[in-house]
Structure 1
């Protein structure tokens, strides 16, 4: 602890600021006022686990090697154990990274670490160092071991410990003395060296152990703790010696080879732009359909396969896409559950008014923070699973998405991953602790890989400019990329003589509302197409528009302010016939000033189910309710208009159903921990909640690290806190 305090105090303001940004839990209130308080936080076991999640395989290998060799080992000793030069560049890079997250740091010629015993109780299968085990032995036992080995025993225990440690640390001495052991003891020593370090043999006979272990205990090759009945343990140095002079601790600084293929950068960006536009269109189509018909959830939670297929058929999309769009809509607060089902929220209306780049920015933020795995197919099921059902690994999904993006961004320029398995291989090297704790790492990575392609972060197996901006956490770069991929919403429409309307790009909210009201949408994507029909024009007139208002609105939005003559004729003809029949609820009556038209309706076979009867030359009664009568007349090709009981026209405006949004992850502290990386003020509001959710109140940090209520937690920038801590440390030093 004191070494860490000294190390922190010796850093420059820039170095300490970077460290705090990499370990942002240091910013949680109450902020540490001294280096001792900062060091206490950095030494907390749960927070050490968070720091290790972001380390690569070689960095973790160095950390585990330091845990095996013991806190305070010499750098040359570490390099020798790894089989590399003391000034090896890869070793330097790994130690620098460990220092950046305060897991290990230099202390003169020694290397110090935070407590790592809870992570690796027996690092690399090795026991405690000789110095720790010998110190626990009684002085008389140590002197007897020294006499058997021919090692000078001092009058003081510390001298004997030092002499024995130096002798047993020499691998040649250990290997030489082990060859003189009985055969069964040699077999036991080999087993402990590779599979140890513990031998659970609490068998006693008059205070002495029996069997092959006794010889090894008497010669200091295995030791027992001071308390009675403890298991035997082989020291780290002895095990390394018995593993042979050629044995080296694992160190794999180079990433594994994974199959890649060449890819053209221009095609990658074209595909990224297409995917981004498709994602936005898919979200809008889904949420509009949810507004018309609420999505019915299952009683057990989630959205069932049958409902997914209905949505896919209705809006012309795939069930897998619907799964992802639903997840993004829930993660961004655009969709929320109600008693009627899943409905768009009022935030959706605000979102629709934004520019496409702003819309996708929100969707990407929701994607990165989502705990769902919508495209993951659980191994062994063979059947589709409901959407919006989070798995046991939900808390790890934001970390996994960040890892997949960083792995893909690390591929050489012009290279693409051959498949999801190649990404998994690289991710296991980049974030081994994360993937080793997932129940189905391969399946989850494949699902995230597909998600990244659908949102435009990956295309043709390569990271896109959008994905690289997300991987490196550069908001300004992300905004620039999105502005390039998604131009501003289109405000004009090309009206054609074949009664179609074409919008190249993303139509604006107002233009979409106008065209959806007066025409039927036919295609979506990079170019959207609508078709005007008598029924679509009648729909707009039913909603309260007049012929003049509709033509004026279309002319204002038309390219060149031109409305083709066929469309004008269609609108005029439909408007002329519109309202020729008035339907008043009685249960109900049809009224018209045209007796000939009413007689035609009376004799129409398609309307026989209405039970029509002539009450007067201008009035016909219907046995069906008003809504059913209106629908039947319209299906038969007529253009009736509903009436209120007082005779006023009933304007049929589409109803908008909206839900109250659920709290977002940014509003309450429930989001998973992010990978250590660049400082993100927003992420600090979500940090540590899950780690400390079930924490014991007796934990030494519980008083100021466990959030007691929702709300923002970060209070300072890393650079500000670094300067204050260094000033406080300087004042303490000057007072001494």
Structure 2
């Protein structure tokens, strides 16, 4: 067996690419940047860091780690053959090599195959009884007499031993105090160890002997079958497109509803249960989906807390910008927000640790690792060909659990189900298969808008008018038609075909927005694939006949009409008393109230006034609801970006330089005399070698630096700092000590 190698020396022998891989796989080691490789080696063995690194390991690699712990590789180096014997014949040599390679890349294991060492903190990662084995025992269980002792056990004693050998090795039995019982006889012969009066433990040697050629038991070497099913790529994408349009419609309903009736923010933060139910009813969906959409609306900064003593959840001005975009642009914002959402909406309604229900938008839903788990689910689906789905959500959960058993905690499988459900609501997943837009979402997001556009049916330019004062849109409408129809009618039901309802209020809304009766008739005739029903024509004409006979303006406001009788009727109407009307001409009255309040008061009294601007054109005074300022910059992504190859290379270079500087400190730098300093610097510049210098700056502060000298003369040395790459000039008379840096050895 080779001589053990300390981890720091093993790291020094690695090439720069291996160190960069280590920092990429274990990014916590680089925060803050380690000064040298000694600091890196120390961090690599910290318990919390080792736990995080092991969260990425699959079932086979964790089994190899467990075998290393059983072999006590954290105490002294072990040979790979001993690890292989523990793992049994089911694990191929190639799989063992791959697992050891992954552990070496993460600096959890180091050294050659004949002297594998393990970081001590790894023992806290594996279960309390590694491999389901107990502690080593002395006495009969640890002697050469063990085979004979096992051969002599009775059937009832063998049943006890087999049960404990299957794991865990701890068992409870009150019969242990009876020397005639099976447990009592096994204790007497040393085949069981007593833990306390009611607990016994199977020694490791006995467990290994009973398990035979599989000392660590059966290992799931291959991943579970996912049971793939072909759903059809076109069917999946069309279904996803419909879901995307539906989620946009529901968010529009939520924004419109909260514009009119903003729900209050709970004192503890979040959204109340009754307000969530109202939102679900308004969006025509269940509470779980409503909780998801509410969370997304706030995360996308479409909704935020208003300012004030009693804040409400109010749409932001960003909601108006969002609503002005096309469906593809609106959906892309929602989808990207969901992917990076550091929260688990599936927790809404569950009980927290204190037994209280978790409310939407509260801190109880926050889970910083949620984006990572969400991406894992989508990445698992992306491995299947387009249009292919797993046999079931549980099959996907089993596969992900095999790949990372330590991830997710007690909610591991539920998180997979929640991610699939949420992705299906958004159209990222359809029929359990990843859609085209979903693949763009986790890949090159530059093509996200185009990917959704390809799944949407072409917009239609017509509706089907019905005799019951409804219109049916057989698909997504062209933007211009959609805007006009939204003014003229209300959505009665949505789905594959949207049903709009015409009423007196909706027609008046269109007239208030500046449309004339002839405009509406032209729109209906031009955009309907069926004849315009007579009842709808009468409705438009009747509302238009009464609309605008009264004209209001700001003076604070005025009211005018060519009909003097109508003006008189308004003045004497009981509902006009609070409007404080004053007649200044036969056809004109004024009011101190704002124009909006005047119009609302007249409509409440049963009149149909129209507002006008200073030029006499119809003025749209419709209430667009409350708005508040955005709370954060749009498009901001949570968390720092992953370091790139150049950043990792620079960090490795910095550690190498720090290591070299530390080596110089451990040596004996020469005291600097002017002649010796100049000679050393010139020799280093000619050989392109680095030097360590100690100096005193102009303020009397002591410093040190590793430079690669380029110019020596004129009383100064100029060189490039090997740590930060900057060029520095140091006066020669301020140098107090100097030494040439020996280059650290690097492995191939």
Decide whether the 8 Å contact of 1:494 with 1:501 is kept in 2: no
- 1:381-429 superposed Cα distances (whole Å, 9 cap, x missing partner): 9x99753345478355334323432443445776423443333333332
Distance apart, 1:371 and its partner CA: 4.3
Are the structure 2 counterparts of residues 184 and 542 from structure 1 closer, same or farther at C-alpha, using a change threshold of 3 Å? closer
Which residues in structure 2 correspond to 1:14-413 (within 5 Å)? 14-29=17-32, 31-71=33-73, 72-84=77-89, 88-114=93-119, 115-120=121-126, 121-126=128-133, 174-176=146-148, 195-196=168-169, 236=204, 239-241=207-209, 243-245=211-213, 247-257=215-225, 261-299=229-267, 301-338=269-306, 339-352=310-323, 356-375=327-346, 386-389=359-362, 391=364, 394-410=367-383
Q: Aligned partners of 1:650 and 1:85: how far apart in 2?
A: 80
Q: Aligned partners of 1:492 and 1:458: how far apart in 2?
A: 22
- Picking from 729, 736, 743, the partner of 1:734 is 743
Q: Residue 60 of structure 1: SS of its match in structure 2?
A: helix
Q: Aligned partners of 1:96 and 1:468: how far apart in 2?
A: 31
- 1:650-689 superposed Cα distances (whole Å, 9 cap, x missing partner): 86253553334456999898x7xxxxxxxxx5368xxxxx
Moved more, 179-188 or 332-341: 179-188
Whether 1:539 and 2:548 are equivalent positions in the alignment is: no
Counterpart in 2 of 1:659?
Answer: 628
Distance apart, 1:450 and its partner CA: 0.9
Decide whether the 8 Å contact of 1:68 with 1:128 is kept in 2: no
Q: Aligned partners of 1:10 and 1:526: how far apart in 2?
A: 64
Whether 1:484 and 2:455 are equivalent positions in the alignment is: no
Q: Aligned partners of 1:187 and 1:317: how far apart in 2?
A: 56
Decide whether the 8 Å contact of 2:36 with 2:657 is kept in 1: no
Task: Give unpaired runs (5+ residues) of structure 1.
Answer: 131-144, 150-166, 200-210, 225-230, 672-680, 685-713
Decide whether the 8 Å contact of 1:126 with 1:197 is kept in 2: no
Q: Residue 580 of structure 1: SS of its match in structure 2?
A: coil
Distance apart, 1:252 and its partner CA: 0.7
Distance apart, 1:451 and its partner CA: 0.6
Decide whether the 8 Å contact of 2:248 with 2:331 is kept in 1: yes
- 1:130-150 superposed Cα distances (whole Å, 9 cap, x missing partner): 9xxxxxxxxxxxxxx8xx99x
Q: Residue 641 of structure 2: SS of its match in structure 1?
A: helix
Q: Aligned partners of 1:105 and 1:466: how far apart in 2?
A: 43
Q: Residue 394 of structure 1: SS of its match in structure 2?
A: coil
Counterpart in 2 of 1:427?
Answer: 400
Aligned residues: CA RMSD: 5.8
Distance apart, 1:574 and its partner CA: 6.9
Aligned residues: 622
Q: Aligned partners of 2:135 and 2:232: how far apart in 1?
A: 53
Return the TM-score normalized by structure 2. Answer: 0.65
Moved more, 5-14 or 660-669: 660-669
Greater relative contact order, per chain length (Cα 8 Å cut-off, separation 6+): 1
Are the structure 2 counterparts of residues 317 and 191 from structure 1 closer, same or farther at C-alpha, using a change threshold of 3 Å? closer
Distance apart, 1:328 and its partner CA: 1.0
Decide whether the 8 Å contact of 2:560 with 2:587 is kept in 1: yes
Q: Residue 361 of structure 2: SS of its match in structure 1?
A: coil
Decide whether the 8 Å contact of 2:108 with 2:118 is kept in 1: yes
Q: Aligned partners of 1:96 and 1:715: how far apart in 2?
A: 21
Whether 1:721 and 2:660 are equivalent positions in the alignment is: no
Q: Residue 264 of structure 2: SS of its match in structure 1?
A: coil
Distance apart, 1:460 and its partner CA: 0.9
Distance apart, 1:74 and its partner CA: 2.0
Q: Aligned partners of 2:61 and 2:10: how far apart in 1?
A: 20
- 1:676-717 superposed Cα distances (whole Å, 9 cap, x missing partner): xxxxx5368xxxxxxxxxxxxxxxxxxxxxxxxxxxxx9973
Are the structure 2 counterparts of residues 422 and 517 from structure 1 closer, same or farther at C-alpha, using a change threshold of 3 Å? same
Counterpart in 2 of 1:228?
Answer: none
Decide whether the 8 Å contact of 1:104 with 1:113 is kept in 2: yes
Return the TM-score normalized by structure 1. Answer: 0.66
